[in-house]
C-alpha cells in the first residue's frame, strides 16, 4: 500500500480523498493555490504545499509544480479527483515516468475515451449502440449536411474534446447547420483546444443513465450499479439518484453489460463511469465514458456500501478486486448538488463569505463539503460548495429525508441552489419518477427572472 498520497485537487473532492486515505492508514499531502490558503483540505491533510497563484492554470493545472511537490514531499501516488488534471493522459503519463502512481486509469485508456468522436466509433465496433449520427469526426459543413440527410433534424453538433455539458449545439434545419457548424468549431477550439466536431441525432426526451464500473487490471471488471442523472440544467447535472427509477430488469442488465464491455474494450483499470442516454423502455445509447471518479459517486456508495475512493486507491496499489460479480442495490439514494449560485437570477454565481453554515444531519443524511462558517468562496473555481446525499429504504423515504435535510441546511451570506432542489423534490412528475434530461426546462417554472416559485 502507498505511504503518502498527494491530492492534486481542491474543494469537497480533496476532502473526500483525504478521508479515504486516512481510513486506509495512508498519509496525505494537499496542494493549494494562493486563493485556498484557508481551505478545509489544507487543514485536514497531514501536510500542505502552496503550488501557485489563484488561476487554475498556474496552480491546480500546473503539472511541473504538482510533480515537483510530490517528489519533494515523497508522495508515492497522486489522486487527481475530478476536473483539473483527472482526465489528462499527458499528466498520467508524466506520473508514470516519474515513478509516481497515478490513481486512475492508464494514460492509453484516458486517451481513447478522451476523444468522444473516436470513442463512439470504437464502441460501435464493439457492438455497443451509440446515438445515430456521424460514424466519426465530421470534417466540414458539406460532410455535416451529408450526415444530416441520414440522421434528420433536430441534430446535435458536439465537440470531440468537449465536457462538462459544454460544446454542444442543437440544430433544427439545414439552414441552421450552415452557420452553426463553423461557429461550433471555433467555440470548441477556444474552449477545448480542438476544433474537432461530430454529430448525433438530438433525442428529444432521453434519460441520462450511467453505470459505475471498477476494474482491477487483472481481468476483473465489475459494474457497481447505475445512476440516473437526468435532472440537469444546460446539460449539467444537478440532482442524481440510484437506482434509476422504473428501469426494467432487462434494460438494467443490458446497461451494466454494455458498460463492462466498454471498459474491457479500452483496457480500463480503476473506477470509471460509462454514460448512456436511454430512450423509452428499450433503447440505450453510449454517449461517453468518464475516466475518473464522478461528483455523484456517493449515491452509488450509499446503496452498495462500497467506498469507491478507497477501491480506487486499492486498485492503484495493485490489489485484486474482492467484490461479488453481481452487486445488489439496497434502498434508494439521491444527491443534490448545492452550488453557490442564485437560481432566482439565472443561476448567477454567488461567491463571497459564508456567514453561517449549519449542515443537516439525522438518519440517512450524508453531507460532503469543504465549506464552513466564515469560509470565503473564491471566484476562481467551480461553484459546488456541498453535496447532500439522502438514503432511504425506498425512493419516497429518500425524497422525504432530502426535503427535511435541505429545509434544515442553513447557509448564510450567499445564494445557493437549495430553493431549486426543493422545487424539484416537490414536483409531482419528479415524485412519480417521470424524469428526462429536459425535465427542468419542461416541468420547473423558474419564473420570469429564473426565480423558482416558492414551494
Ligand atoms: P459532456 O461530456 O459535456 O457532459 P455528454 O455527451 O455527456 O457531454 O452529454 C451531456 C448531456 O447532454 C446529456 O446528459 C444530455 O442531457 C445531453 N445530450 C448529449 N447528447 C445528447 C443527444 N444526442 N440528444 C439529446 N441530448 C443529449
Output the CA 235–ligand 1 centroid distance in Å: 6
Say what the pLDDT of residue 225 is: 96
Range 174-184 average pLDDT: 92
Q: Is the CB of 235 under 6 A from ligand 1?
A: yes
CA max distance for the chain: 61
Q: Who wins on pLDDT, 190 or 452?
A: 190
Question: Residue 324 above 90 pLDDT?
Answer: no
Give residue 132's pLDDT: 96
Evaluated on CA atoms 73, 76, 81, 87, the torsion sign reads positive
Q: Would you call 122 helix, strand, or coil by DSSP? A: helix
Q: Is 163 in the pocket of ligand 1 (CB under 6 A)?
A: yes
Does ligand 1 come within 6 angstroms of the Cβ of 208?
Answer: yes
CATH topology of domain 4-103: Rossmann fold (3.40.50)
Q: What is the pLDDT of residues 233-268, one digit of tens each?
A: 999 999 999 999 999 999 999 999 999 999 999 999
Please determine, for residue 7, whether its predicted confidence score (pLDDT) is greater than 80.
yes
What ranges in 139-215 are assigned the alpha helix state H?
141-151, 174-192
| Ligand 1 pocket: which of 130, 232, 277, 442 to mutate (most atoms within 8 A of CB) | 277
Q: Is the peptide bond before 170 cis (omega within 30 degrees of 0)?
A: no
Considering the entire predicted model, what is its pTM? 0.97
- For residue 401, give the 3-state DSSP assignment: helix
Model confidence band, residue 166 (pLDDT cutoffs 50, 70, 90):
confident
Residue 294 DSSP SS3: coil
Evaluate: CB of 162 within 6 angstroms of ligand 1: yes
Q: How far apart are CA 278 and CA 170, in angstroms?
A: 18
Tens of pLDDT, residue by residue over 267-313, are: 999 999 999 999 999 999 999 999 999 999 999 999 999 999 999 99
Distance 74 CA to ligand 1 centre (A): 40
- The average pLDDT across 434-453 equals 81
Distance 363 CA to ligand 1 centre (A): 34
Q: Let me know if 292 is a catalytic residue.
A: yes
In this predicted structure, the answer to whether residue 454 has a pLDDT above a threshold of 60 is no
* CATH 3.40.50.20 domain range(s) in the chain: 4-103
Cβ(437) – ligand 1 distance below 6 Å? yes
CATH class of the domain whose range is 132-201: alpha beta
164 has a pLDDT exceeding 90? no
CATH topology of domain 207-454: D-amino Acid Aminotransferase; Chain A, domain 1 (3.30.470)
Residue 190 predicted with pLDDT over 70: yes
Is residue 277 a contact partner of residue 260, using CB atoms and an 8 Å limit?
A: no
Contacts of 349 (CB under 8 A, 6+ apart): 340, 341, 379, 383
Within the chain, which residue ranges are assigned CATH 3.30.1490.20?
132-201
96 vs 77: CA distance, rounded Å: 10
Residue 77: CB partners within 8 Å, gap ≥ 6? 2, 4, 5, 6, 100, 101, 102, 103, 313, 316, 317
Dihedral sign for Cα atoms in the order 238, 242, 245, 249: positive
CB 212 within 8 A of CB 308: yes
Provide mean pLDDT across the span 24-41.
98
Residue 191, helix vs strand vs coil: helix
**Could you read off the pLDDT of 344-402 as tens digits, one per residue?**
999 999 999 999 999 999 999 999 999 999 999 999 999 999 999 999 999 999 999 99
Mean of the per-residue pLDDT values of the chain: 96
Tell whether the model's pLDDT for residue 189 goes beyond 50. yes
The CATH 3.30.470.20 domain(s) of the chain lie at 207-454
* 294 close to ligand 1 (CB < 6 Angstrom): no
Nearest of 359, 369, 349, 371 to residue 415 by alpha carbon: 349
Alpha carbon distance, N-terminus to C-terminus of the chain:
50
b (16+ CB within 10 A) / e for 183-218: ebbebbeeebebbbbbbbbbbeebbbbbbbbbbbbe
pLDDT tens figures, 106-129: 999 999 999 999 999 999 999 999
> 243 alpha carbon to ligand 1 midpoint, in Å?
20
Q: Of 292, 337, 366, 401, which one is the catalytic site residue? A: 292
Amino acid at each position: 500500500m502507498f505511504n503518502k498520497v498527494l491530492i492534486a485537487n481542491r474543494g469537497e473532492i480533496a476532502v473526500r480523498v483525504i478521508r479515504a486515505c486516512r481510513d486506509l492508514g495512508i498519509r496525505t499531502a494537499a496542494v493549494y493555490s494562493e486563493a485556498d490558503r484557508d481551505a478545509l483540505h489544507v487543514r485536514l491533510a497531514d501536510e500542505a504545499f502552496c503550488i501557485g497563484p489563484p488561476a487554475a492554470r498556474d496552480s491546480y493545472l500546473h503539472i511541473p509544480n504538482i510533480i515537483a511537490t510530490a517528489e519533494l514531499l515523497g508522495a508515492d501516488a497522486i489522486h487527481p479527483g475530478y476536473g483539473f488534471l483527472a482526465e489528462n493522459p499527458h499528466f498520467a503519463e508524466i506520473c508514470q515516468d516519474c515513478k509516481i502512481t497515478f490513481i486512475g486509469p492508464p494514460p492509453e485508456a484516458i486517451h481513447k475515451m478522451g476523444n468522444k468522436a473516436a470513442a463512439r466509433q470504437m464502441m460501435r465496433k464493439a457492438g455497443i449502440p451509440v446515438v445515430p449520427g456521424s460514424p466519426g469526426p465530421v470534417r466540414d459543413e458539406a460532410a455535416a449536411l451529408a450526415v444530416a440527410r441520414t440522421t434528420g433534424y433536430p441534430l446535435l453538433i458536439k465537440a470531440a474534446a468537449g465536457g462538462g455539458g459544454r460544446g454542444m449545439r442543437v440544430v433544427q434545419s439545414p439552414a441552421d447547420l450552415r452557420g452553426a457548424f463553423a461557429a461550433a468549431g471555433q467555440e470548441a477550439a477556444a474552449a477545448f483546444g480542438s476544433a474537432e466536431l461530430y454529430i448525433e441525432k438530438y433525442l428529444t426526451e432521453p434519460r441520462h443513465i450511467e453505470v459505475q464500473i471498477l476494474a482491477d487490471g487483472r481481468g476483473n471488471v465489475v459494474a457497481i450499479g447505475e445512476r440516473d442523472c437526468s435532472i440537469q440544467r444546460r446539460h449539467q447535472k444537478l440532482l442524481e439518484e440510484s437506482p434509476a427509477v422504473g428501469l426494467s430488469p432487462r434494460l438494467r442488465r443490458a446497461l451494466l453489460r454494455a458498460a463492462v464491455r466498454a471498459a474491457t474494450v479500452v483496457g480500463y483499470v480503476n473506477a470509471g463511469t460509462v454514460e448512456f442516454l436511454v430512450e423509452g423502455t428499450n433503447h440505450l445509447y453510449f454517449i461517453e465514458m468518464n475516466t475518473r471518479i464522478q461528483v455523484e459517486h456517493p449515491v452509488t456508495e450509499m446503496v452498495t456500501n462500497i467506498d469507491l475512493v478507497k477501491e480506487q486507491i486499492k486498485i492503484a496499489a495493485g490489489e485484486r478486486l474482492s467484490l461479488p460479480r453481481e452487486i445488489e442495490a439496497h434502498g434508494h439514494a439521491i444527491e443534490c448538488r448545492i452550488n453557490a449560485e442564485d437560481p432566482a437570477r439565472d443561476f448567477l454565481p454567488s461567491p463571497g463569505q459564508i456567514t453561517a453554515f449549519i449542515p443537516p444531519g439525522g438518519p440517512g443524511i450524508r453531507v460532503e463539503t469543504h465549506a464552513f462558517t466564515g469560509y470565503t468562496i473564491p471566484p476562481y473555481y467551480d461553484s459546488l460548495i456541498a453535496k447532500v446525499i439522502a438514503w432511504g429504504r425506498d425512493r419516497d423515504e429518500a425524497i422525504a429525508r432530502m426535503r427535511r435535510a435541505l429545509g434544515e441546511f442553513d447557509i448564510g451570506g450567499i445564494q445557493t441552489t437549495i430553493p431549486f432542489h426543493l422545487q424539484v423534490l416537490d414536483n409531482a412528475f419528479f415524485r412519480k419518477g417521470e424524469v428526462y434530461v429536459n425535465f427542468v426546462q419542461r416541468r420547473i417554472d423558474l419564473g420570469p427572472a429564473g426565480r423558482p416559485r416558492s414551494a
